[in-house]
């Protein structure tokens, strides 16, 4: 089947930068950076004065204009306000009033730009188990932002790769209108181009890690949860590769020579111990986080599971289930098996649906698949009853005409 016939691997293009790239950088053979040494290099109301930095900001402004017009954005005011609050808290005063763009991309990533906006992928929200974990990722990005890594890294890149005398960014910009960059397959508005700005060195990633620990502790979050995020992510990547009988992809690791990130999480844990004040209470605000993303959680799980990467999806669901199973997670676990479709998976999935519908929060779709499984097992009347239940829970379902015909 041809479809668009485009060989697409979103992940290979999106991991170029941002928080996800950080996962593949490992801290090796250097002294741990102490969180106490991490002071912000910019304050509120910062504006660049150097020509090239001004040019960079103007570039980011135009990039932001494109992103804000993207059809891939999730425009949920409650969640956007929540993210804005969080970024303003953990990012410090310089990050207050940042503009937030939540993009519907089922990958783990978040990016923060000095010109005053952030991009968060829906895949990140799915994977976070608590507000502290999300704050940890955001604090890591804030670290890059507050320590001015982007301009430093960009100057480095330009020095190495520019062979022509192109002239200052400001002059080039003066004539210019914003153009449009669409159709360049998975460029996702301007995200592909701006990821080229997000290349941070190992040293910078270590600084951002240290900064994240400091920012978390300063704001009353348990700082060790920052390490958990990276452990979960690496675990997921490993599970995905293991299922396909491969080693975790090395192609992301453009800079590193060490395969394992243990030293990095060890550094984070040591830093966390340093900044944790004994006797002070820290709260990860798990319930508040889950309540906020509750309305879109099914959509996030759907987007992830339907990618049919069973190793990753199963690991992810089991990780989320460490905080308690519910109907939604049990349903999507069964969906992972149904799509995986190895020998015996249809029976496994059937059992999974049966378990899911026993929970009060099981989504209507769980009843549909439960009903279809029962019918395939020959349990006609039970199956039809389950399908009828599905229709009563979701009378406007798009497949209602078909399901109706099945039970009549």
Partner 1 sequence: MNRKIKLVIAAAALALPLGGCASGAVGEGFSSHYALIGVRSVNVGDGSMAVTPPRPWNRQRARLFDDIRQVEDWTLNGPLLDGMSFVTGLRSGQYLIRQRRSEDRQVPKFRSDMTAPEVTAMLESLYRVRGGAVDFRTLSLTPRPFLGANGFQFDYEHLDTDELWRRGRAVGAVIDGRLYLILFDAARSHYYQNAIGDFEALVASARRRR
Partner 2 sequence: MRKLGIAVALAVSVPVAGCVQTRQLADLQFTPPQGDYRLLVMRPDVSVGSVTTGGMVEPRADWTDQARANLTTAIRAQQAERGGQVQILERRDQLPGVSADEIAELERLHSAVGRSIALHKFMGAYLPTKRGRGLEYTLGQDAVELGRRTGYDYALFLYAEDSFASTGRVALQVLGIAGCFVGFCAPNIGGGGQFAYASLVDLKTGEVVWFNVLQAGTQIAGVNMGDIRTPEGSAQLVDRLLNRMKPGRDVRRAAGNR
Residue ranges binding partner 2 (CB under 8 A): 2, 4-9, 12-13, 16, 55-56, 59, 62-63, 65, 69, 71, 154, 158, 160-161, 163-164, 166, 169, 172-185, 187, 190, 192-194, 196-197, 251
User: HSE of 338 in the Cβ direction (CA atoms, 13 Å)?
Assistant: 18
Considering only residues 172 through 201, tell me which ones interact with partner 1, judged by CB under 8 A: 182-189
The answer to whether 205 touches 141, Cβ cutoff 8 Å, is no
| Cβ neighbours of residue 218 closer than 8 Å, sequence gap 6 or more | none
341 lines the binding site for partner 1 (CB under 8 A): yes
The CA angle 292-213-321, to the nearest 5 degrees, is: 40
Q: Which does 307 bind (CB under 5 to 8 A by kind): partner 1, partner 2, none?
A: partner 1
The CA angle 106-108-114, to the nearest 5 degrees, is: 115
396 lines the binding site for partner 1 (CB under 8 A): no
Q: Interface with partner 1 by CB under 8 A: which range of 64-72, 87-95, 254-262, 266-274?
A: 64-72
Instruction: Give how far the C-alpha of residue 155 lies from the chain's centroid of Cα atoms, to the nearest Å.
Output: 27
The answer to whether 274 touches 217, Cβ cutoff 8 Å, is no
Q: Which does 43 bind (CB under 5 to 8 A by kind): partner 2, partner 1, none?
A: none
Cα separation of 405 and 408, whole Å? 5
Nearer CB in complex with partner 2: 119/210: 119
Q: Which does 142 bind (CB under 5 to 8 A by kind): partner 1, partner 2, none?
A: none
Helix crossing, 327-340 with 286-305: angle to 10°?
20
How many residues form the binding site for partner 1 (CB under 8 A)? 50
Nearer CB in complex with partner 1: 45/398: 398
Q: Which pair of structure tokens corresponds to residue 286?
A: 């798990």
Q: What is the dihedral of CA 110, 21, 312, 245, to 10 degrees?
A: 170
Considering only residues 70 through 109, tell me which ones interact with partner 1, judged by CB under 8 A: 70-72, 104-105
65 lines the binding site for partner 1 (CB under 8 A): no
- Minimum CB separation of residue 133 from partner 1 in Å reads 23
Nearer CB in complex with partner 1: 90/105: 105
E strand or H helix at 111: strand 110-113
Q: Which residues bind partner 1 (CB under 8 A)?
A: 1-6, 8, 10-11, 70-72, 104-105, 182-189, 240-241, 244-246, 303, 306-309, 311-312, 338-341, 346, 368, 372, 375-376, 398-399, 401-403, 405-406
């Amino acid at each position: 089947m041809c479809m668009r016939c485009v060989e697409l691997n979103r992940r290979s293009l999106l991991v170029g930068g941002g928080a996800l790239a950080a996962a593949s950088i490992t801290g090796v053979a250097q002294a741990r950076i102490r969180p106490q040494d991490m002071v912000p290099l910019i304050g509120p109301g910062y504006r660049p004065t150097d020509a090239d930095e001004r040019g960079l900001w103007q570039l980011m402004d135009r990039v932001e204009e494109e992103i804000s017009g993207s059809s891939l954005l999730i425009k949920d005011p409650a969640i956007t306000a929540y993210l804005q609050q969080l970024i303003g808290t953990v990012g410090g005063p310089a990050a207050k009033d940042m503009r937030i763009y939540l993009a519907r991309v089922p990958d783990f990533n978040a990016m923060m730009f000095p010109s005053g906006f952030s991009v968060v992928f829906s895949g990140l929200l799915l994977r976070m188990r608590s507000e502290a974990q999300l704050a940890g990722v955001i604090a890591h990005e804030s670290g890059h932002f507050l320590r001015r890594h982007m301009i430093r890294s960009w100057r480095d890149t330009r020095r190495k790769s520019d062979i022509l005398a192109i002239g200052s960014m400001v002059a080039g910009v003066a004539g210019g209108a914003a153009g449009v960059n669409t159709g360049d397959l998975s460029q996702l508005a301007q995200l592909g181009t701006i990821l080229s700005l997000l290349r941070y060195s190992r040293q910078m990633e270590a600084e951002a890690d240290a900064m994240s620990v400091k920012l978390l502790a300063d704001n009353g979050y348990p700082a060790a949860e920052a390490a958990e995020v990276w452990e979960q992510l690496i675990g997921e990547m490993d599970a995905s590769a293991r299922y396909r009988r491969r080693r975790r992809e090395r192609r992301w690791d453009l800079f590193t020579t060490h395969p394992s990130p243990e030293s990095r999480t060890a550094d984070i844990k040591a830093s966390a111990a340093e900044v944790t004040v004994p006797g002070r209470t820290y709260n990860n605000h798990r319930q508040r986080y889950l309540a906020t993303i509750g309305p879109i959680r099914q959509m996030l799980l759907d987007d992830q599971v339907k990618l049919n990467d069973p190793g990753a999806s199963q690991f992810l669901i089991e990780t989320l289930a460490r905080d308690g199973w519910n109907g939604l997670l049990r349903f999507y676990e069964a969906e992972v098996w149904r799509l995986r479709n190895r020998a015996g998976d249809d029976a496994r999935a059937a059992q999974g649906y049966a378990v899911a519908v026993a929970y009060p929060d099981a989504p209507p779709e769980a009843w549909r698949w439960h009903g279809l499984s029962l019918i395939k097992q020959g349990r006609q009347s039970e199956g039809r009853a389950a399908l009828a239940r599905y229709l009563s829970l979701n009378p406007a379902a798009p497949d209602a005409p078909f399901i109706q015909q099945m039970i009549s």
